[in-house]
Amino acid sequence: MMVEAIAAGMSSTEIETAIDGYWAIGSFLDTGLKQQTEFDLAALEAASGRMLSADQRQRFMDVQHQANRWTYLGSGMSHPKFVEMMGMLNQDKARELLNAVPMFS
């Protein structure tokens, strides 16, 4: 309801700019999640008292980063109400969203 109220007074250009800002924030958060995954790896190695092999480290980074992406970004981006609202605001941006969601799942 808040998004509808805010968007009601905006032009289509302002809405597109706001949606682009949403993507910029998501990208910023994704970078932070990658850093957090590196911290998680360091904590795992410290707690276990052993260093993982290069392959194990890469596998951990890939899996843990993807899990964090889904938990903190993808699950919200793919929520039916969010997708519906995006479609109401801008159909082209809604299609971009639906194309991007698999990257976060």
Model confidence over 3-51: pLDDT tens digits? 888 888 899 999 999 999 999 999 999 999 999 999 999 999 999 999 9
Is this prediction's pTM over 0.85? no
* b/e per residue 31-62 (b: at least 16 CB within 10 A): eebeeebeebbeeeeeeeeeeeeeeeeeebbe
Domain tally, the chain: 1
What does the pLDDT look like over 50-75, one tens digit per residue?
999 999 999 999 999 999 999 999 99
Domain assignment present for residue 92? The answer is yes
Instruction: Report if residue 65 sits inside a domain.
Output: yes
The H-assigned helical ranges of 9-53 are 12-48
Host domain of residue 77: 18-104
CA atoms within 13 A on the CB side of 70: 7
Environment class of residue 68 by beta-carbon count within 10 Å: exposed (0-12), middle (13-18) or buried (19+)?
A: buried
